[in-house]
Amino acid sequence: MRSDNVTASASIGDHRLLTWEQMVIHMSKRTTLTAQEHLYERNRRAGYGRYLFLGAIGTVVILVVPFISNLALSFFSWRGGRSRMRWVGLGNYIDLLHDDQFWVSFANSLYSIIAMMVIPTLFGLIIAAVLFDYIGRVFGGKTASFLRACYYIPQILPVGVAGILWGWILNTQTGAINRILAGVFGLAQPPDWLGNPDIAMYAVMLFVIWSQIGYPVVIFMSALGRVDPELYEAASLDGAGWWRRFTAITIPQIKPEIFVVVLTCTVSALKLFGPIYVLTKGGPQNMTYVPSYYSYNTFFVRSQIGYGAAIASVLAVIITIVAAIIYVFQNRAEAKENEGVAA
């Protein structure tokens, strides 16, 4: 009799665990529409069609025309003003292939992606989950909202103000970091964060991580607000720990927002400009150049209009390709999930 009770209890527990996991899968993947819903969606979108015309005009004026104009400039050698424009064809692009500074700038884009997309997204997921699933339940929603706002403050600061702040923090003589290294750890010669070519890019990365991490935290916490709390309660009753709830509930439920953050942060990293301009201006020894700043410096400072336009054109194409790849990957992932639901 006792063994029958244990078996029945285990069966109930297994059924409960299976139930909440099935609920997660169903709620995160349910995107198929009925025939009636398809008809409603088609009629609704048709009504908005006329309003999209103005958006198409704006896209042409703001994006297409400037890109074509910039692309046309890239085929000329021009110093600006009334100087003569000389046709060079693909000469600027050929020169880019042999330009070491150009390749250094694109290599630095990898550091930008790590600092602006990879680290903030990973830490943003964990921080948002902790604030929502732990801090919110234990200390209340107001505490979680306050901490979320604190994380977002660096994001809303003007980059010039934030740059001045971090210029002081990273200062070799009076900076807060070096004072801590010297006072607490007894380091006799603290590093020159912005003056040493070997570590300057890492110093910029610290600034970028600090200013960027609030963005994914806010997006992910907003996404978690639409997750059914009963999922977490059911999982807790079945003995699922925080990490289990994080991987089985949190991530599947906010996959669309994760893709959005990855896409927007990657594009922002590839066109990073402000932190470089306010902290290093590409130095020391041009080791913190990124493509957008290299294009700006070539175009406006050196007055090599055609060459700067070529750099900008290549950057625009790369950004478009990367964004398209992420978008296609997202659509394929959603299609695979829909197939799983249909099955």
Query: What are 153's two structure tokens?
Result: 């403050």
Give all strands (DSSP E) within the chain, no chain letters. Answer: 76-77, 86-87
pLDDT at 22: 60
Which residue(s) pair with 99 in the sheet?
none
What is the tens place of the pLDDT at every residue in 126-157?
999 899 888 888 888 899 999 999 999 999 99
Where does the pLDDT of residue 229 fall: very low under 50, low under 70, confident under 90, or very high at 90 and above? confident
- By CB atoms closer than 10 A (0-12, 13-18, 19+), residue 101 is middle
The average pLDDT across 95-114 equals 94
The average pLDDT across 304-333 equals 92
pLDDT at 57: 86
DSSP letters for 244-280:
HHIIIIIHHHTHHHHHHHHHHHHHHHHT--HHHHHHT
Find out whether 153 and 210 touch, Cβ atoms under 8 Å: no
Which residue(s) pair with 87 in the sheet?
76
| Residue whose token pair is 């801090």 | 135
**2-30+74-342 under CATH 3.90.850.10, yes or no:** no
pLDDT at 213: 94
Average pLDDT, the chain: 85
Query: What are 107's two structure tokens?
Result: 């290599």
pLDDT at 1: 46
Lowest mean pLDDT among 4-13, 174-183, 225-234, 322-331: 4-13
Residues 31, 254, 332, 269: is their CA dihedral positive or negative? positive
pLDDT at 5: 43
Query: Over pLDDT 90: what percentage of the chain?
Result: 55
Q: How far is the CA of 32 from the CAs of 28, 36, 37, 204, 259, in angstroms?
A: 12, 12, 9, 45, 20
Find out whether 294 and 112 touch, Cβ atoms under 8 Å: no
Residues 6+ apart with CB under 8 A from 62: none
Query: What are 123's two structure tokens?
Result: 């830490």
pTM of the model: 0.81
Q: Where are the domains of the chain?
A: 2-30+74-342
What is the tens place of the pLDDT at every residue in 14-47?
444 455 556 655 555 544 556 666 666 666 666 6
Q: Is 340 helix (H, G, I), strand (E, B) or coil?
A: helix
Q: Is the pLDDT of residue 49 over 90?
A: no
pLDDT at 166: 94
